[in-house]
Amino acid sequence: MAEPLLVLDKVAKHYGEITAVHGIDLEIARGEFVAIMGPSGCGKTTTLRMIAGLEAPSEGEIRLNGERVNERKPWQRDTPMVWQSLALFPYMSVLRNVEFGLKMRNQSAKTRREKAMGWLERMGLAAHAGRNITQLSGGERQRVAIARALVTEPEILLLDEPLSALDAHLRIRMQSEITQLQRQLGITFAYVTHNQSEAFAMASRVAIMNGGRIQQVGSPREVYRTPANRFVAEFIGANNIVDGTLRGNDGEAILIETGLGQLRAPAPIGRSYSPGDKIALVISADRVAIGAAPKGGAINHLEASLISEEFIGSVVTLHLDIGGERVFRVQKQAHELDATAFTPGQKISAFWRAEDMFVLPAD
């Protein structure tokens, strides 16, 4: 089996006594779109900088196309990066910005212009070739930065939170454009972000980092529905996490005593528990019904009172008071609640099926 395009093998980065990245392993296949995400300070940007050659690993090995690149300078790796700040040259025209990487490779003026104009055509910017960067909109600058990175025809493109400075509408549009571009070109993308919606909308796989360590790698669906640990469960989505104690098995599900009462959950596959073991359950907010119980299977139920509604476009999140300053979240499509008028303090019945819960692996 061929080695992946990019391999991080026990890569670590130390700054004196501080360890920013702890011996991580990560493989990225040719043509894959992988998002590395996590909270600020988790080590994701440091990891990307080590791939780019802007930081040297303190330990471990980085391999590109099967070759160790630890000692190679950035310009020797062919791993261009699109920066959060875009890092375009304001004193150069759009065309000259895109040509820059080719000029550094000593390509002729004719070749530079042909290749740069080809990419500007592809990005819908050919008419702006002679403009100054300062005359462009945020989205246009973003496309110039991507064209400048791709004009050298690299095998992998690194992107460090490139959409964070854009407004919400433009960010969503650029997500679509970047995703389509990556699929058309078949170039490998390694994309760093702290934004879950970006990562899940664009990437084929997501690597979740925290404290300089990779917590989980998987498809967006795998990470969302089957988090590897409590950190991932809390970081991803609108998960409700409930702690309890295993009481037994009723033949259909395991029984867990919790602060919400006795709940039924599917028995974890490949994991064994005994009565008295501590259990942590994940209940996704979008899997909870209100008002009427779903049909079929073992049903869990709780009574709560409404704290508030959070309306974000087509999605509404209900924040429910379940006692002890705890909040239980229910997430519904806005059209499902069009006929319902909620008021703070209103009593709400919530239901979910046993199979819609996930038992977290023991820490």
Quote the pLDDT of residue 1.
45
Beta strand 33-37 with 205-210: parallel, antiparallel or unpaired?
Answer: parallel
CA distances from 356 to 118, 163, 284, 332 (A): 50, 33, 8, 15
Residue with tokens 């409930």: 242
For the segment(s) 238-359, the CATH number from 3.30.70.3270, 3.90.1310.10, 3.90.1300.10, 2.40.50.100 is 2.40.50.100
357 beta partners = 283
Domain extent listing, the chain: 6-230, 238-359
Residue with tokens 């025209």: 93
The superfamily (CATH) of domain 6-230 is P-loop containing nucleotide triphosphate hydrolases (3.40.50.300)
Per-residue DSSP letters for 333-350?
Answer: EGGGGTT----TT-EEEE
- pLDDT of 146 reads 87
Contacts of residue 184, defined as CB under 8 A and 6 or more positions apart, other chains included, come to: none
Query: Half-sphere exposure of 165 toward its Cβ, with a 13 Å CA cutoff?
Result: 13
Among candidate residues 189, 122, 123, the one with its CA nearest the CA of residue 159: 189
Q: Which residues of 103-137 are buried (b: 16+ CB within 10 A; e: fewer)?
A: eeeebeeeebbebbbebbebbebeebbeeebeebe
**Per-residue pLDDT tens digits of the chain, which is 363 residues long:** 457 999 999 999 999 999 999 999 999 999 999 999 999 999 999 999 999 999 999 999 999 999 999 999 988 888 988 887 778 888 889 999 999 888 888 899 999 999 999 989 988 889 999 999 889 888 888 889 888 888 888 899 999 988 877 777 778 888 888 898 899 888 999 999 988 888 999 999 999 999 999 999 999 999 999 999 999 999 987 789 999 999 988 767 889 999 989 999 988 877 888 889 999 999 999 999 998 777 767 789 999 999 999 888 788 899 999 987 789 999 998 888 887 888 899 999 999 999 889 999 866
DSSP letter, residue 167: -
What span, in angstroms and rounded, lies between the C-alpha atoms of 244 and 41?
Answer: 32
Q: How many residues does the chain have?
A: 363
Alpha-carbon gap, residue 19 to 17, rounded angstroms:
7
Integer Cα distance of 68 and 41 in angstroms: 27
Q: Angle at the Cα of 268 (from 266 to 273), degrees rounded to 5?
A: 110
